[in-house]
Structure 1
Amino acid sequence: MQLLSYTKSIYHLYSRLGGKRFLFLVRSKVLKFFFEKKRTDINLFPETIGNAEYALWLRKYFPRESDCEGMKDVCKILSYKPLVSIITPVYNPPIPFFKAAIDSVLAQVYENWELCLADDASTDTEIKNIIETYRKKDSRIKVIYRNKNGHISDASNSALSIAKGEFVALLDQDDLLTKDALFQNILALNKNRSIDMIYSDEDKITEDGKLFSPFFKPDWSQESYLSRNYTCHFSLYRKKIIDRIKGFRKGLEGSQDYDLMLRFSEKTDRIYHIPKILYHWRTHINSTSLNAGAKSYAAVAGERALVEALERRKEKGIVEPVPGYAGNFNIRYSLKNNPKVSIVIPSRNQSAFLEKCLNSIFAKSSYQNIEVVLVDNGTDEKKAISLIHHWKEKEPDRFLWLEYDIPFNFSKLINYGCENASGEYLIILNNDTEIISPDWVESLLSQAQREKTGAVGCMLLYSDETIQHAGVILGVGGIANHSMLGEYCESTKHYCYLKLTNNVSAVTGACFMISKKKFKKVGGLDENFAVSYNDIDFCLKLGKLGYRNLYLPYVRIFHYESKSRGSDVSPEKKIRLERESKMMEEKWKEVIDKDPYYNPNLSRSKFDFSLNV
């Protein structure tokens, strides 16, 4: 009956107005509806500043109120609801920011929490009034008042002393949690109760509440973490391990959380990453979020935390701060001995490239215990043959010429060269490269000698000093592609990625080092991959056995692969590429779909860590 009534009303309106006026009215009402809806939708999302891409991302992924209501329903049926103690040291915070921080805790979808405040003898008397007002408002808010200011480590430990939760989470006095921050952590724990530590992605928030600078992080990456404290916010820890390592250490103020995580990760590897923005890091004039130099002692403390981590782990090395970028480091490990390194180079003709490559190796390399193993795939160019004889005579003990005239198969050439190499370590190197860094061999070796290190790659540059390789990302632009391809080598995009040592799923076969023992352990390169993906497959085999592949920023080599080289579209080669691509997809689908070292919120089509919008 109601439908009939609506139909009659519409018919009468149509009869009175006529066809054109009726359609105009309908169109205007529809547009008004969508305009009002769009305007309402905009108000549902936080404002951003300086990044239109992030604004689009927030509209796509930021939880709406309806999402939060749904999360509350999920909370009711969770089988595991541990108490979470949120630890917040307090000292004279800006009052509006402090209130906002506490309010963000009160707004949590997951309700089994306690907020443990430790006032570090604030001189602003209003702070105590605010704390007491909130305590009366919610019994889950606890406080300990310190008689003497002891700085953030002591204050954090005081907050820990009143914490009763199975897990503790860290919140700075002027930052904000998203409403679903605790919920997402507890949801992860319900799926896997053995997790000991969880961290999330984060962004920054201005004094007037605008969001910017999202940091979408990789899954747990041990060597990446030794270059910077990327877990930071939002982080949740199993309290019994925090107690075992005795909480925060005095003297590491400014990087006390970095030091905590370094020690925590020495006790467990059950570390989980939630690829969601769950934390807004406040920026103001004295915050490290806005300017790492605002607290220069933080960078000094970070360096000390790393030095002491190396000592505890019984690894000798030097912690090198990245000049101009406080809080970022590279570790240069000491060589354990002076092993022989074999540099395996597959080659056929291309005398100009080969001459430049060999000249740079023998003239520039500061590490002397090397041999070059040239795997000659049927050279018939007179100049190239003459060049090979030249080096054979000049470096009789360090130059080995292996003739291997077979139909081109990169994997077979490399395997043959490695079988005949006498070195304890192997460098696989293209013949169209030129060494830039004199200490390239020892730098690669310092990482390759470590027990859990797999393949060690480096920064490869085009002749115009733009990036040809800085590690490989899986599932971007197809099976895999080189991260930061085409970027200027000094770019600081994605939090100084190019300047830091990073864990990666794979490195290019144009240059990497591996111990001969590990090379043999995974069976060398798979000869079914004659041309494409053999290097990626090799690295993934290493990863499957628990070895970690690395990109090193301080080893630089020119790679004269043509930037404008077209696609390989000859029928025979196209069939071969399709076959090898299919083999990769069948063998490594899971990791291609989700590269653990590449955040799923980042682009699947661009190589510069742009957002997936």
Structure 2
Amino acid sequence: MVSEANPLIKAKRRAGRVKRYVKRKVYERNIGKTYKAWLAEAELIHAGSTTHDFTISIIVPVYNPPIEFLDECLNSVITQQASNWQLIVANDGSTKPEVAQYLAAFQAAHSTDTRVRVVTKENGGISSALNEALSHAHGEYVGMLDHDDALDPRCIELFSQTIEAHAHPDAVYSDEDKLSPKGEHYDLYCKPSFSPELLLTQMYLCHFTVFKREQMNAIGGLRTSMDGAQDFDLALRLLPNLKNVVRIPLPLYHWRAWSESTALSIDAKPWAQESAARAQREYIDRTFNGGTVAPSHIQGLNEVHPRIEGTHKVSVIIPTIGTLNERGTSRFVDDAVKSLIENEHETTLEIIVVTTGVIANVEIADLKNHELKHVVYETKSFNFSEAINTGRAAATGDYLLLLNDDTTVAEANPVTKLLEIGQIDGVGVTGAKLTYPDSRFQHVGMVLLPSGPTHAWISKPNKEPGYFGSTLTPRNYAAVTAAAFLVRTSVFDQVQGFDVAFAKDYNDVDFCLRVREAGYRVAWTPYAHFVHYEGATMARKKTDQQEHALFVERWSTMLNNDPYYS
């Protein structure tokens, strides 16, 4: 195996990074032009020019906002292209006289419009105000609009079209951006498609989301104890009922960034993270009968670890050809097995070493509570998929961990961390974080591009947070690498294992896409962390062209439409 210290390898990887950087900058520039042109088209929209036969109720809690922001907020509803909206404004006991005066004038100006209602109540906090507004809502769907933000004039029309096109789903959400105090648009957030595992740690749905009013009322609306994270708490309580959720890939909500808004800084509402932690803790208590929630090293972000329910055996399948490690002191597979046994203390492992032909066994003096098996894979031409399937035939665990032999554990209990996510109902495959020996990212999920699948953020420094924190929290991807991923044994069998037509390339991506096709989600977690030396399992130089053609033929639609990358 060629060492990573080899100057040629270093030069190739550096050239690859430069190429990816240039491509990304060109892409970002083109996206920026498209974004600006789309924003400019809003000026051509005519208010009330379309309608639909159902209503979307917009509820706005108000407490002492700057009048110019409040005016822009409310008029962003009044001037919607579609007319099938209801606006309920709840003044939560604002103490600034100009707020009450403005709202009285606003109500008078729209006194003949039955869609508009302003209510005033004693101060009780944002959830109390939202619940008051909710009690006056009659729409099939309800969306929450903050008193200093604004909707794009196409918002209700595009939401209505989406609702009709998807047979009235449980929820619909859009992308969003931010508005500077000068009214400039920036910080476009292109969200993934519905990602329940991301919702464990981030209220990424946020702005703008509409839920069914009946479902909101069925769980008692918003909870005043969760003020600061009331929308996050609402989404987590609704989550078990959210079976059909649709994303609109356009920034239809403009989040105002100013001194009293978390759009500018989490410091504006320091209690919000505490409320989020309570909402998350209650969610994992309800769903997993416990777990832990604690602040992460990133301000505003909590680390969530659900309790693992039941007792599980994980069968670890490690294909190997017995390659020596870079130091020449032992084989990669010896290091991998030893590292796993020394660092996994909570989950019972059945480690299955699949050797290509007969090679010396891995010898471990103390297996602790784990098992170690050796299976010989006889072949004249190595086929990674066949090796994996051979390991499966010897496995007795209810989960399988596919693991390359050129990996070692970077942080304790990686299999347990994978199980935290892998046990969630609907999750079929869960991938791990992999870093190179120098700590740069090797794998933090995979994205599908027209040119083929690629690793997100590959070769970036380990401190890179990614796009809106994409490397920091569990989330969903279209695919993850089989260098380290967990799969339910039942799911592996349901999709008939790895396809042996992919002997060298794309076998893991093809497997993940077939798992998704079977109705399961593919997830990834940063909490399960391995070092990946990459390439010891099978020396490779370039992609197999026949396998590439087969992959493109089978998955061309997905290559142009990755639901988690936009």
Q: Is the 8 A contact 2:42 2:153 kept in 1?
A: no
Tell me which residue corresponds to 1:35.
none
Residue 85, structure 1, aligned to residue 57, structure 2: yes
Contact map agreement 1:177 1:279 (CA 8 A) in 2: yes
Helix, strand or coil for the counterpart of 1:374?
strand
Give the structure 2 partner of residue 144 of structure 1. Answer: 119
How far does residue 395 in structure 1 lie from its aligned partner after superposition? 5.3
Give the superposition deviation at 1:481.
1.0
Q: How many residues align?
A: 527
Q: Given the alignment, which residue of 273, 279, 283 partners 2:253?
A: 279
The yes-or-no answer on 1:61 pairing with 2:34 is: no
Between Structure 1 and Structure 2, whose CA radius of gyration is higher? 1
> 1:101 aligns to what?
73
Q: In 2 relative to 1, CA 72–191 (structure 1 residues): closer, same or farther, beyond 3 Å? A: farther
Report whether the alignment pairs 1:321 with 2:295. yes
Quick check: 1:399 aligned with 2:399?
A: no
1:120 is the counterpart of 2:92: yes
Alpha-carbon displacement from aligned partner over 1:130-155 (angstroms, at most 9, x marks no partner):
11222222234311111x21010111
Q: 1:474 to 1:315 in 2, by over 3 A?
A: farther
2:263 to 266, 273, 289: 289
Q: Distance in 1 between matches of 2:68 and 2:540?
A: 58
Change (3 A) 1:584 1:451: same
The within-5 A match list for 1:336-347 is 336-347=309-320
- In the alignment, the residues of structure 2 paired with residue 400 and residue 540 of structure 1 have an alpha-carbon distance, to the nearest angstrom, of 30
1: CA distance, partners of 2:33 / 2:352: 52
Matched, 1:226 2:177: no
Kept in 2: contact 1:54–1:214 (CA 8 A): no
Q: Secondary structure at the match of 2:178?
A: strand
Give structure 1 stretches of 5+ with no counterpart: 1-50, 380-384, 600-613
Sort the Cα spacing of 1:157 and 1:518 in 2 relative to 1 into closer, same or farther, 3 A. same
Write the distance in 2 (CA, Å) between the matches of 1:390 and 1:244.
Answer: 57
CA gap 1:345/1:295 in 2 versus in 1, 3 angstroms? same
Aligned positions of 1:412-491 closer than 5 A: 412-475=386-449, 478-491=451-464
Residue in structure 2 matching 1:585, options 547, 552, 562: 552
Q: Secondary structure at the match of 1:509?
A: coil
- Residues 435-477 of structure 1 deviation map (CA, whole Å, 9 limit, x = unaligned): 111211211223323342211111101122111111111226x
Matched residue SS, 1:237: strand
1:474/1:593 contact within 8 Å kept: yes
Separation (CA, whole Å) in 2 of partners of 1:405 and 1:470 = 33
Q: Secondary structure at the match of 2:183?
A: coil
**Contact 1:322/1:499 (8 A) holds in 2:** no
Quick one: distance in 2 between partners of 1:566 and 1:343? 22
Aligned-pair distance for 1:588?
2.6
Does structure 2 conserve the Cα–Cα contact (< 8 Å) formed by 1:392 and 1:401? no
User: Which residue of the partner structure matches residue 304 of structure 1?
Assistant: 278
Q: CA RMSD in A?
A: 2.5
Q: TM-score, normalised by structure 2?
A: 0.87
Residue type of the alignment partner of 2:340? I
Report what 1:40 is aligned to: none
Question: Percent identical across equivalent pairs?
Answer: 31
Q: Which residue of 2 aligns with 1:34?
A: none
> Residue 356 in 1 paired to residue 335 in 2?
yes
**CA shift for structure 1 position 82:** 1.8
Q: What SS does structure 1 have at the residue aligned with 2:237?
A: helix
Distance 1:524 1:90 in 2: 55
> Structure 1 residues 452, 250: closer, same or farther in 2, change over 3 A?
same
| 1:19-54 superposed Cα distances (whole Å, 9 cap, x missing partner) | xxxxxxxxxxxxxxxxxxxxxxxxxxxxxxxx9777
Distance in 1 of aligned mates of 2:362 and 2:76 = 72
Alignment partners' CA distance in 2, 1:580 and 1:67: 49
Instruction: State how far apart, in whole Å, the 2-side matches of 1:395 and 1:301 are.
Output: 43
TM (norm. structure 1) is 0.81
Between the aligned partners of 1:106 and 1:178, the Cα distance in structure 2 is: 11
Matched, 1:235 2:212: no
> Which residue of the other structure, out of 333, 345, 352, is the alignment partner of 1:366?
345
- Give, in whole Å, the separation in 1 of the partners of 2:42 and 2:61: 30
Q: Which has the higher helix share?
A: 1
Can you give the 5+ residue segments of structure 2 that lack an aligned partner in the other structure?
1-27, 326-331
Q: How far 1:390 moved relative to its partner? A: 5.5
CA distance in 2, matches of 1:210, 1:535: 43
Partner of 1:168: 142
Q: Distance in 1 between matches of 2:361 and 2:541?
A: 33
Paired AA for residue 489 in structure 1: N
